[in-house]
Amino acid sequence: MQLYKSRDFGSFFQDTFAFLKLNGKHLFKNFFIINGIFLLILMVMGYFFSKFYTEVIFGGIVSGNTNAMDEYMNENAGLFGLLVIVFIIVGLIASIISYSFIPIYLKLYAKNNGKSFNATDIIDQYKLNIGKIFIFLICGILIAIPIGLVAGIVSFILAITIIGIFLLPLVIGALSLLYQSTLMEYLENKKGIWASFGYAWSLMTSKFWPAIGCVGIFFAMSYITQYIVAIIPYIFGMIDLFTGIESSGVNPNPNDVGKTMTVIMVAVFLLTFLVSSILNVIVQINQGVVFYSLKEDNENINTKSDIDLIGAGE
């Protein structure tokens, strides 16, 4: 599939799903090879946090012990603090690697005219661009302050009206597309970080509403899907729990209730985490399709390549 291709609003959607259909197996295989260990660590730590929440907080409520949280923290403050620090560090590293995966993957895809590369090639690109990735992270945090202020004001204005609430995904889509396009352009090694931010903005404004509209809709679909995936097993678990309590006709054992809630919360967390990781990749692929399309409109890369091939044939 050709990345450098002029597209309209509908083509952004069609080519995103076409790309996933043609390359989904290769894409997700390499994604989990690169990110798997970090995702596994986060899932294990998330399991312990979920267990803590259900056994300590919920269990204390069921048993009538309102001081369960304070008692646990006093007894395990050091361990809990260590887990939080490790979780933040691992989460930050995992986020950086995961976020930069799609830009690196699509860069190799465009360079090789397809998926004729493997995880080793991707890792080599991480090594070559590790400095750029951290520069992007630092500069992205700095520029997030003014951008976040403007986005916050716009979001507040939209949130006070019913119609405006439905437009909030467009704000998220615009911010996400700006950052993703900046990183993709920066990794091309042709522009500095601030020039890449400026270039990304110019690309977005060239087809502003089709671009952010498509990305915003993908964000909305991703959020709704994650919500449904999380809420359905939770609802069935709670129904099963309270149905069992009513049918037994006796007061529930707080320990049994706590164990049941632990199973429900952990299952929901693990399922949501996995689905969220997959959906984030899909949303980023959509942004990649939009970026390469806007870049083609601006630079005519594929058109120039075709003309060069014709000239070479003569």
Q: Which of these, 201, 200, 258, 269, lies nearest to 231 by C-alpha position?
A: 269
pLDDT band at 125 (very low <50, low <70, confident <90, very high): very high
Whether pLDDT at 249 is above 60: no
Whether pLDDT at 135 is above 90: yes
Type and span of the H or E element at 1: none
Whether pLDDT at 297 is above 70: yes
pLDDT of residue 13: 93
pLDDT of residue 152: 87
pLDDT in tens, 87-123: 788 778 888 888 999 999 999 999 998 888 999 999 9
Q: What is the C-alpha to C-alpha distance for residues 172 and 151, in angstroms, rounded to an integer?
A: 8
Which residue has tokens 């429900």? 264
Type and span of the H or E element at 240: helix 208-248
Whether pLDDT at 163 is above 70: yes
Q: Which of these, 86, 95, 85, lies nearest to 39 by C-alpha position?
A: 95
Q: What is the mean pLDDT of the chain?
A: 81
Number of other CB atoms surrounding residue 185 within 10 Å:
22
pLDDT of residue 199: 94
pLDDT of residue 18: 94
Domain ranges (residues) in the chain: 9-149+176-297
What is the mean pLDDT of the segment spanning 203-214? 92
Whether pLDDT at 182 is above 60: yes
pLDDT in tens, 27-83: 999 999 998 888 787 777 777 766 666 666 655 555 555 555 566 666 666 777 777
pLDDT in tens, 5-40: 999 999 999 999 999 999 999 999 999 999 888 878
Structure tokens at 216: 């915003």
Q: What is the C-alpha to C-alpha distance for residues 223 and 168, in angstroms, rounded to an integer?
A: 12
The answer for residues whose C-beta is within 8 angstroms of residue 45's C-beta and 6 or more apart is: 83, 86, 87, 90
Structure tokens at 256: 């049994």
pLDDT of residue 294: 94
Q: What is the C-alpha to C-alpha distance for residues 183 and 136, in angstroms, rounded to an integer?
A: 7
pTM of the shown model = 0.83
Q: Which amino acid is at 234?
A: Y
More confident residue, 163 or 258: 163
